[in-house]
Structure 1
């Protein structure tokens, strides 16, 4: 994925630009990349398809499991796919500029480097947040229709359901910002994607196999699946709000590290 080198906008003198000009520049870059929109379409289609398939295969719980039965968690299973695609896009938005050399032009047009990364995170994070919230609600509504008629359909008015849907969409928005930070921190596409996949999938899976949920529950994917996307709290897992707060901390730390590297290293 490569991007065109763009100036902040017509009529903007060197050193006289503001955040709005940099936002406009990054929005033009994002809008002009067809691959980004196709990838985001994959997120929409994949999340809806996984929600429908999962709900269609959801069976009525046995009596001993009825208290913990949570079809809302099932219908939001596609978040796992969404985070991977969105994460890769976010990484490429930064590393693609480094690999093509256009980052030098970007930083020449906008010497205030923190503004560059802030604009990238704001544009991609904002687009992702809006899209993810829409698709989370759409997935819920379409997916529950595929549920066996013998099973009571979950409703947005049920306790914890609306919060689970909203938090699932917000989670993908945070992943977008975190991925931009990882891209700035690592810079090399393959390495950055490796870090992303390791953080989201490999490390928590290894920890879950070795120690159960004791440590793995603190990793993003486990938080998303077992703390955020649930209408009924799961035992031994973080509460929804504690999990969301930890995700905010992760995002802030990774993003701040990306800003620091961007400022201190040559393009």
Structure 2
């Protein structure tokens, strides 16, 4: 008759710590070897963007508005009517309109959609409480902010640049025979269309920063609209000399200079406008980073 084998665990050797002895039938270590890295945080934020239906809808709306209003402005262009009705879009007075400024009429609408998306992706986590899980997984916190900005900014830049190109190409037949007609090969055209994408990409990052800074979706959206659209109007109440000095440095005006085809005497150059608007975004990001690092969830 075969001897029965004992199923009892081996007795620990003398001096062995029972609390660290591995259980029978289990791995000696439960450490999976995974750690938080910048790439993994980026992949997590990338998955969040594309897993939310609201992200796809908002991005689609932004590009649609950019293309729609640009094409409409080009096909409804009338030199006499534009000169008398004021500016139809970015680029100066109506009389100074170009094929590019008409194609980019939708930028003022697309910036709201893109900025709101940035707010929802950041402040939305505070509203749902998901931020607790996020910061538990990434206890250093700041990589979360950088990753949100690094993911959404390029996505917005690429899609809106393609939208600006589409708006220009769709509007070109509507301006056939007009003095303001341009082609992609003309000086400054591609730079202006790409500048619109750069501006809107920075607006997306601006929305992310406002969302983390204010931690409230409604408040951050109100701040976004106020800074980009209402602030220039309120500043017009200032004395003319002060307004003329400060106006080019307002976020929306500095951003408009980035994608303007011709430099205006009362506006910044494209390079200076980009630097100023990027400074506004960087300042807001710095405030968001400070609050994220120094305060509780």
Band of TM-score, shorter chain: 0.7 to 0.9
The 5 A counterparts of 1:66-81 are 68-81=96-109
* Contact kept? 1:208, 1:215, Cα under 8 Å: no
- Report the equivalent of 2:255: 224
Q: Choose between structure 1 and 2: higher helix proportion.
A: 1
Structure with more relative contact order (C-alpha pairs < 8 Å, separation 6 or more): 1
Partner Cα distance (2:145, 2:270) in 1: 29
* SS in structure 1 at match of 2:236: helix
Structure 1: 5+ residue runs without aligned partners?
A: 1-10
- Report the equivalent of 1:7: none
* TM-fit CA distance, 1:69: 4.3
Number of residue pairs the alignment of both structures matches:
252
The 5 A counterparts of 1:99-118 are 99-118=127-146
Partner Cα distance (1:89, 1:69) in 2: 30
Distance 1:93-1:261 versus aligned 2 partners, 3 A rule: same
Residues 1:246 and 2:246 are matched in the alignment: no
Partner Cα distance (1:77, 1:12) in 2: 52
Partner Cα distance (1:118, 1:142) in 2: 36
RMSD: 2.0
Residues 1:49 and 2:68 are matched in the alignment: yes
- Report the equivalent of 1:37: 56
Partner Cα distance (1:97, 1:12) in 2: 28
- Report the equivalent of 2:7: none
* SS in structure 1 at match of 2:265: coil
Partner Cα distance (1:265, 1:110) in 2: 15
Structure 2: 5+ residue runs without aligned partners?
A: 1-31, 84-92
Return the match for 1:121 from 142, 149, 166.
149
The 5 A counterparts of 1:1-267 are 13=34, 16-60=35-79, 68-208=96-236, 210=238, 211=240, 213-225=244-256, 227-267=257-297
Map Cα deviations across residues 60-115 of structure 1 (whole Å, 9 max, x no partner): 378xx999442311210111111101101101111111011110000001101110
* TM-fit CA distance, 1:152: 4.8
* TM-fit CA distance, 1:51: 0.3
Distance 1:52-1:177 versus aligned 2 partners, 3 A rule: same
* Contact kept? 2:97, 2:180, Cα under 8 Å: no
More moved, 131-140 vs 169-178: 131-140
- Report the equivalent of 2:9: none
